[in-house]
Amino acid sequence: AQKVTQAQTEISVVEKEDVTLDCVYETRDTTYYLFWYKQPPSGELVFLIRRNSFDEQNEISGRYSWNFQKSTSSFNFTITASQVVDSAVYFCALRAGNTNAGKSTFGDGTTLTVKP
């Protein structure tokens, strides 16, 4: 069984603060993929990143960075110098590579509010 836990239900920060969204996952598969999505009020999911289980390198994309640690089964997402436009619900998701191929399990999401 797969499980994704996003312990932070809501986070509120002031613009320009850094913020980290936590994601912890569970799977028995050795091959899997981890994702982060942003869901603004419009509802459409915006893909942010995909990471496979064999690539533990951290990644930085502009103000976004991701920390993947297999030892703790975590895939945390940090926004540096947050902006009001970052306000959204962020979902972490897990997709097994070998079993249940293609079925993504989503965390409950973290609602981020960035205040001006």
Partner 1 sequence: GAVVSQHPSWVICKSGTSVKIECRSLDFQATTMFWYRQFPKQSLMLMATSNEGSKATYEQGVEKDKFLINHASLTLSTLTVTSAHPEDSSFYICSARGGLGEQYFGPGTRLTVT
Query: Which residue in the set 41, 43, 62, 116 belongs to the binding site for partner 1 (CB under 8 A)?
Result: 43
User: Smallest distance, Å, CB 71 to partner 1?
Assistant: 26
Is 77 a binder of partner 1 (CB under 8 A)? no
37 counts as binding partner 1 under rule CB under 8 A: yes
Using the minimum distance from each CB to partner 1, give the nearer residue, 65 or 111. 111
SS3 readout for the chain: CCEEECCCCEEEEECCCCEEECCEEECCCCCEEEEEEEECCCCCCEEEEEEECCCCCCEEECCEEEEEEHHHCEEEEEECCCCHHHCEEEEEEEEECCCCCCCEEECCCEEEEEEC
**Under the criterion CB under 8 A, does residue 108 sit at the interface with partner 1?**
yes
What is the binding site for partner 1 (CB under 8 A)?
33, 35, 37, 42-45, 47, 50, 91, 95, 101-109, 111
